Amino acid sequence: MNIALIGIGNLGKAIQQIVEESQHEIVSTFDVNSTIESSAFVNADVIIDVTHSEAFLTNLDTFLITGLPIVVATTGWYDQMEEVKAKVNVAKSRLLYAANFSLGVNLFLRIIQQAAHLINPFEAFDIAVAEQHHTGKIDSPSGTAIKISEKILDRLERKTAIKSRLAENERIKPEELNVSAVRLGSVFGQHSVFIDSGEDSIELRHTAKNRLGFARGALEAAAWLIEQTGKKGVFTIDDFLNDRLM
């Protein structure tokens, strides 16, 4: 697999490290400020974007001209999802995106969804989400914590809204899903789900050890997207996982 890598920040460097240990090759690399022309992708099989939302949206038209499959690990552009989908469909191209490409995280999301489904009939069980990240992380709660919460709300009827911040002396309402965030030192990333009743406590946790898991997931998804020659449009990490877990 020949890769055009857009973005050489922390995740881009992790992808480079994984590629060095594999049979794949990065044939072109661009930083977030590069001026990109479609001719630069002539030797690539796939484009992987790990920049930021503004750069991705600026470069999307150029990506689509190439006709190559596009993997997007950049977030912050989802409010323009319909416009992106329309462009991809018009170009008859294919694009796969995810807020988090870690295979462990995405399997964890499925475990959480099933856990919420299992406690749904039993009113005695309450549930909450907590996450920890380093002090440099901007979004709070994290995008992954929000995704976890959405999976819970999808399967647990008695929870109808996410509550991430409580005012002084405010109590959480029964229908609210409490999602708390801690910013601490250099903690790489930890997400926990707590299930509690008067008789039992269950804790489910995912801890990211480094960025290599995110990089490996992005490469796995890129290889899968290349294989989907008969399909066009916008895909998610769930499409990839559904196929792999069949």
CB 59 within 8 A of CB 6: yes
Q: What is the DSSP string of 1-34?
A: -EEEEE--SHHHHHHHHHHHTSS-EEEEEE-TT-
Catalytic residue among 24, 87, 133, 147: 133
How many Å apart are CA 51 and CA 189, to the nearest integer? 20
DSSP state of 157: T
CB 73 within 8 A of CB 98: yes
How many Å apart are CA 183 and CA 120, to the nearest integer? 31
Q: And the tokens for 235?
A: 């895909």
Catalytic residue at 206?
Answer: no
Q: How many CB atoms lie within 10 A of CB 174?
A: 10
CB 237 within 8 A of CB 96: yes
Catalytic residue at 133?
Answer: yes
CB 56 within 8 A of CB 75: no
Catalytic residue among 13, 52, 117, 137: 137
Which residues are catalytic, by number?
133, 137
